[in-house]
Amino acid sequence: MARRLGQHFITDQRLLNRIVEAASLCSDDVVLEIGAGYGSLTELLCNHAGKVIAIEKDSVLVNHLNNIEADNLEIIHADALEVDFPYFNKIVSNLPYQISSPITFKFFKYDFDLAVLMYQYEFAKRISAQANTRDYSRLSVAAQYFADARILFKVPKNVFKPPPAVNSAVVSMRMKKTPRGALDEDFFLDVARASFAHRRKKLKNSLLANLAINRETLKEVPISLLNRRAETLNLTEFIQLSNTLITA
């Protein structure tokens, strides 16, 4: 099942140490780990954090996790996309790559301090991409709205078993405190989604086709902005656009 879920297990102890060091853990931290697998990272997290909550969907892997001798480990046998997360203040995970996008957007619904996450390298580039670049997307806008996001280091294929088809990267997301600027954050995310639904279309056409608004509402937005494409708007402009539309 692990391969079907897009899981690639880290076999390099030095890499595991680097990931844990990047999280700056202490005894006060409650760490959430998604896709704990065989528990190599889990055990290390238990040695540095006050508590570790490991979520794993695969029943065979859960049996391996149950063999870890740690009083501060809570194992949840569930699909991370379906279960509500208990309290945590940090996330440290070698994520199953097939759920990278939905699980990342789910993280943004929670209040926490820091995430240190393994992604496919191409996905990681989208998280930190800036406006007017090929990798800039709704993921870039969302990640940079909620967090100070950056790629910490690139990871080669040969430190995983089974090895993935592409290189990977470890990303740090230090979450921003509220208020972050948008009057309605769910609507802000809807605006970003609608804007990038058709990258080559002008913003006006993308919003009308993919957001529940009418032409009268769009009259509140400067025409010079509506004639641009989503990939040219920076984060501040997306916040201003969202706030204008929701108050129109």
Q: Which residues contact 19 (CB under 8 A, 6 or more apart)?
A: 41, 92, 94, 116, 118, 170
Which single residue is written with the structure tokens 């006060």? 28
What's the CA gap between 132 and 127, in Å, rounded?
14
Q: What is the pLDDT of residue 4?
A: 47
pLDDT at 76 over 60: yes
**Is 64 annotated as contributing to ligand binding?**
no
Average pLDDT over residues 139-149: 98
Q: What is the pLDDT of residues 218-237, one digit of tens each?
A: 999 999 999 999 999 999 99
Which of 147, 175, 203 is the C-terminal boundary of a domain?
A: 175
The answer to whether the annotation marks 56 as part of a ligand binding site is yes
Last residue of a domain, one of 126, 157, 175: 175
Q: Which positions ≥6 away from 200 have C-beta within 8 Å?
A: 229
74 known ligand binder:
no
- Mean pLDDT, the chain, integer: 95
Checking if the pLDDT of 183 tops 90, the result is yes
- Domain assignment present for 217: yes
pLDDT digits 0-9 by tens, 91-119: 999 999 999 999 999 999 999 999 999 99
Res 193: pLDDT = 97
What CATH code is carried by the domain that includes residue 152?
3.40.50.150
Is residue 94 part of an annotated ligand binding site? yes
In a domain, 81, yes or no: yes
Residues 212 and 121 in one domain: no
On the question of pLDDT at 58 being above 70, the answer is yes
Query: Is 132 annotated as belonging to a binding site?
Result: no
How far apart CA 200 and CA 4 sit, in angstroms, is 33
Q: Which two tokens stand for residue 12?
A: 């390099």
Cis omega (within 30 of 0) on the bond before 96?
Answer: no
Q: What is the pLDDT of residue 5?
A: 60
State yes or no: pLDDT of 211 exceeds 90.
yes
Shared domain for 151 and 234, answered yes or no, is no
Phi then psi for residue 78, to 5 deg, are -165, 165
* Residue 207: Cβ within 10 Å count: 24
Give the CATH number for residue 202. 1.10.8.100
- Provide the percentage of residues in the chain whose pLDDT is more than 90: 95
pLDDT reading at 6 higher than 90? no
Q: Where are the beta strands (DSSP E) in the chain?
A: 9-10, 30-34, 51-56, 73-77, 90-94, 114-120, 147-155, 160-161, 168-175
Q: Would residue 3 count as lying in a domain?
A: no
**Structural domain count, the chain:** 2
10 is in an annotated binding site: yes
Q: Is residue 2 part of a domain?
A: no
In a domain, 140, yes or no: yes
Q: Is the pLDDT of residue 1 over 80?
A: no
Structural domain boundaries enclosing 225: 185-247
pLDDT of residue 200: 87
Beta bridge partners of 75: 54
Q: In this predicted structure, what is the pLDDT of residue 7?
A: 86
Answer yes or no: is 46 within a domain: yes
Same domain, residue pair 205 and 111: no
